[in-house]
Amino acid sequence: MCKKVRDSYTDTQLPVTADSHDVPTLDDAPLKAALDLAPCPVPIWLPDRQSQTLFGALAAPFNRIRFVRERVDTPDGDFLDLDWNAPALQLRVRRQQDPALAHTAAVRWITPTDQERLHTSPAQPALLLLHGLEGSSQSRYAQSITQYFLATGWLVVVAHFRGCSGFPNRLARAYHSGDSEEIAFILKTVRQRAPEAQWHAIGVSLGGNALLKTLGETAAQFSWLRAAAAVSAPLDLVAAGNHLSDNVFNREIYSRYFLRTLKPKVLEKSRRFPGVIDVMRLNQARDLRDFDNVYTAPMHGFRDAEDYWHQSSSKPWLKHILTPTLILNARNDPFLPEQMLPGPAYGSASVVFHQPALGGHVGFVTGMWPGNLSWLPKRLATFFSDTKKALPT
């Protein structure tokens, strides 16, 4: 297990942005999180943050895992798609795939027989995975995490945020980084499907921020959750949003990459909901700040991008988390400046901050060429295993 280091940051190493009025003071909580600085052994042929991030997202080899899909109606008349897999479902091939799902990682829609197999014994470990911005069950990190946990006997479900499952959602709204109500709905829904399972949750990037915020805001509601983890979560959205929009490389590579799918989705919505979206400003958006100003913020009840980022950041909520939680951020993550990573005083005693020097944003590629993505799921599994050992019998 990685060594935990407490109090490695001094108070002066806990930076606060000029407008971060919601960041907790250092005297609010007597108990601090643990800090783990153990390295991720990134190969020498990935020498910097950009190569580690881009190779992990676009080129690292992975096995293609298939799912059965369940569509769940939301309380506001929309829907979410959940992709399920478990050893009992035996979904190792793509045969007999539903043509309507050919562009997804799902083989078919869930059947009553599939649902029966999800009602597992009390000893069955289960994992909910929340993807990042414009991610899905096809994302490399989702595939590698699913593969690892399936191989060790876990039930796995990947929950798609609205509009990310390969189908446009019904409403003009979409999803955002601070939607605690949606995360709570997802958590309760998957638990209903397998109420006796030992549930764990992982959120990646945007999904990680949303999960952490939810666990901090409504900690007592999820005491049934055995453990949680957030991978490369943009804990301070103001810092991350500004960095992705103002840094030239980030704006031209990462922001452009996200906008290539975000903008067409919203333009499609504008045709279904005429007059609701400022199409001219949307077409002119060149970075995530522009996009959030035009669409995300006003559509989801925020004043502007800055207000959305402030209110949706998970960083102020980390000291309220009661669920054993691993927060994994590489210190060279290009999405979040290293100086904005929280030190132990920002987390509760239930939190472990793991901050290796290298890894990029959801990269964590290891091994000889062409590399592999096994380090991340192994680290997550180790944390879950250690948490289980620490629970009272």
Same domain, 134 and 264: no
DSSP string, 104-117: SSEEEE--HHHHHH
Task: Judge if 67 and 211 occupy the same domain.
Answer: yes
Evaluate the omega torsion of the peptide bond into residue 370 and state whether it is cis, within 30 degrees of 0. Answer: yes
pLDDT at 7 (0 to 100): 34
- Which residues, 6+ apart, have CB-to-CB distance to 30 below 8 Å? none
Question: Which amino acid is it at 219?
Answer: A
Cα(233)–Cα(258) distance, rounded to whole angstroms?
Answer: 16
Residue 210 forms part of a structural domain? yes
67-73 β-sheet, strand order: 34-36, 351-354, 325-328, 227-231, 198-204, 125-130, 155-159, 79-85, 67-73, 106-109
In a domain, 80, yes or no: yes
Distance from first CA to last CA of the chain, Å, rounded?
21
Amino acid sitting at position 387: T
Distance of CA 380 to the CA centre of its chain: 13
- Helix ranges (H only) for the chain are 49-58, 112-118, 140-151, 180-193, 206-217, 237-246, 248-249, 256-272, 279-284, 288-291, 297-299, 305-312, 375-390
What is residue 392's predicted lDDT score, i.e. its pLDDT? 59
Domain limits at 48? 28-235+323-390
Same domain, 180 and 295: no
Query: What is the spatial distance between Cα 234 and Cα 210, in angstroms, rounded to a whole number?
Result: 10
The verdict on residue 294 lying in a domain is yes
Answer whether 172's CB lies under 8 Å from 266's CB: no
- Are 224 and 80 found together in one domain? yes
Residues labelled catalytic: 205, 333, 361
At residue 153, the pLDDT reads 94
Query: Domain boundary residue among 312, 347, 373?
Result: 312
- 3-state DSSP assignment of residue 75: coil
3-state secondary structure of 33: coil
Nearest to 234 by CA among 258, 213, 256: 213
Last residue within a domain, chosen from 312, 343, 361: 312
Do 280 and 338 belong together in one domain?
no
pTM: 0.91
The answer to whether 1 and 382 have CB atoms below 8 angstroms apart is yes
Residues 80 and 141 in one domain: yes
Kindly state the DSSP code that residue 34 receives in the 8-state scheme: E
pLDDT attached to residue 92:
56
- Residue 12 is predicted with a pLDDT of 30
Residues 66 and 185 in one domain: yes
Please state the φ and ψ torsions of residue 128, each to the nearest 5 degrees: -100, 130
Give the residue from 273, 289, 312 where a domain finishes.
312
Q: Where residue 82 sits, what CATH number does that domain have?
A: 3.40.50.1820
The per-residue pLDDT for range 126-165, each reduced to its tens digit, is 999 999 999 999 999 999 999 999 999 999 999 999 999 9
341, 308, 373: which is closest to 40 by C-alpha? 373
Query: 162-203 pLDDT, tens per residue?
Result: 999 999 999 999 999 999 999 999 999 999 999 999 999 999
**Whether residues 137 and 195 fall in one domain:** yes
pLDDT of residue 116: 87
Q: Is residue 9 part of a domain?
A: no
Query: Residues of 60-88 as b/e, b for ≥16 C-beta within 10 angstroms?
Result: bebeebbbbbbebebeeebebbbbbbbee
Q: Are residues 173 and 229 in the same domain?
A: yes
**Residue 307 belongs to some domain of the structure:** yes
Ranges of the chain with pLDDT below 50: 1-30
Residue 217 maps to a domain: yes
Residue 12 is assigned to a structural domain of this protein:
no
For residue 7, is it within any domain? no
Are both 356 and 256 inside the same structural domain? no
Do 33 and 139 share a domain, yes or no?
Answer: yes
Q: Are residues 269 and 361 in the same domain?
A: no
**Domains in the chain, number:** 2
229 Cβ neighbours under 8 A, 6+ residues apart: 200, 201, 202, 203, 208, 325, 326, 327, 328, 380, 383, 384
